[in-house]
Amino acid sequence: MASAAVTAPGGATGETAELAPPRPDFQIVPRAGVPIVAVVLALLIVGIAVNELWPLTFLHVVGGAAWTVIDLFLGFVLGPIIGRMSIPARVEFTTRLMPKMVLIMPTVVTVTLAAGWQLATKLGNTQTSYALHGWIVASYIVVGIMAVIALGLLEPANIAVLVEMKKPRPNPEVIERLMKRFIYTAGATGLMQVATFVIMTKLASG
Amino acid sequence: MSAPDRADVRLPPVTQVGMLSLAMIVAGGIYLSSHIPDHVSLAPAIILLAGSALLLAGNLLALSRVESFAWDRFFDIARWALLAYLIIAGMIEYAFLRNNLSGGPLVVLTLSLLVFAVHVPVLIAFTVARFAES
C-alpha cells in the first residue's frame, strides 16, 4: 500500500492509483523565494557594513529565534505528526514543506551566525578578556556540532528526498529512509538548541 | 539499475568521511576564534585543515572509483549546491574581512571555508546521486 500510494502519480494502475492523491507539482528550490533570500542577505551585508548595534542585534535575534523555533518545532512537534500520517498525506505535506526549508534554513543560519559574530566582535565578547568568554566558546562548540549535523546529514537528506519525489516513479523506501534521517537530525539539532538557550540567556543576563 | 539496487551497491563512506572533514574544519575555526586577539599557534588549525582537505580528496578519489555511479545527476546537483555554498562562504569571509582579520589566521580560515564550500555540495550531490539511476 505504501509503495502503491507513493508511486501512483507516476504510473500505478487501477485501484491503487485511485486511492493515492495526485502528487503536487513543486520546485526543489522555489524560485519565488530566491528574491526574498537575496533581500535578506543584502540586509545582512548592510547590517555588517554599518556595524550598528540595533541592526546587528535585530538580525541576530530574529535569525536565531527563527532557527531555534523551526528546529524545535520540526523535531518535536511536526516530526512525530508526520511520522503518524498516512503515506499519501505525508507525501503531500513533504512536497509542500521541504522546498521551503531548502531556502529558509541556510538563510536563517547564515544571517544568525554572521550577524552574531559581528555583534559579538563589536561588543568585545569574542575577546579572551571577556568575563564570560568560556560561555562564548561553548556557543561556538554547540553551533559547530549543529552545523556538522545539519550540513552533513540534514541538508543532503532534504535535497535528496525532493529529487526522489520529482521522479516519475519515486521510490517510497528511499523517501522513507531520507525522511527519517531528516526528522531525526532535526530532532538532534533541536536538542542542541536547548543548550543554545542556556548559553544565550546566560550571555544576555551577564 | 533501479533505485533500490543502487542503494545496495557498496559505496564508500562518503557521508561519514565528509562529516569528519567538516568537524575538523569546525574544530580549527573554534580553536582560532576562541583565542582572539591573543597570539596563537596556527599549527593545530593548519593540521586540522590539512586533514580535512585530505579527507575531501580521499572522498572524491573513492567516489571516482565506484562503477556505474550517476555522475550526471551528481554534477547536476553539485554545481548548484556549490554556487549556494560559495555565496554562504563568501558572506562569512566578508565578516572576517570586515573585522580586519589578516595574516595567517585569515589564510587558514579562508582555505577552511573553501574546503567547506566544496565538501558540503559533494555530500548533497552524493546523497542524491546514490539513489539515481546511472
- Residue A135 is predicted with a pLDDT of 93
Gap from B61 CA to chain A (nearest CA, Å): 19
Which residue, A34, A19, A26, is CA-closest to A167? A26
The amino acid sitting at A57 is T
Q: Long-range contact list for B96-105, CB < 8 A, 24+ apart?
A: B98/A48, B98/A49, B98/A51, B98/A118, B99/A117, B99/A118, B99/A121, B104/B42, B105/B32, B105/B42, B105/B45
Gap from B87 CA to chain A (nearest CA, Å): 10
Check residue A33 and report its DSSP letter.
G
- Residue B134 is predicted with a pLDDT of 58
Instruction: Please give the tally of structural domains in chain A.
Output: 1
Cross-chain residue pair A49–B98, CB shorter than 8 Å: yes
Q: Identify which of A51, A133, A173 has the shortest CB distance to residue B4.
A: A173
- Residue A46 is predicted with a pLDDT of 94
Which residue, A36, A33, A62, is CA-closest to A47? A62
The residue segments making up the domain with residue A196 are 2-205
Cross-chain residue pair B95–A118, CB shorter than 8 Å: yes
- Is this prediction's pTM over 0.95? no
pLDDT over 50 at A15, yes or no: no
Alpha carbon of B115 to those of A21, B21, B22, B108, B119: distances in Å?
Answer: 43, 9, 8, 11, 6
- Show residues of chain B in contact with A160, CB under 8 Å: 124, 127-128, 131
The answer to whether A151 contacts chain B (CB < 8 Å) is yes
The answer to whether A184 contacts chain B (CB < 8 Å) is no
Establish, for the pair of chains A and B, how many residue pairs have beta carbons separated by less than 8 Å.
106
**Segment A122-176, tens digit of pLDDT:** 998 888 888 999 999 999 999 999 989 988 998 899 889 888 888 888 888 888 8
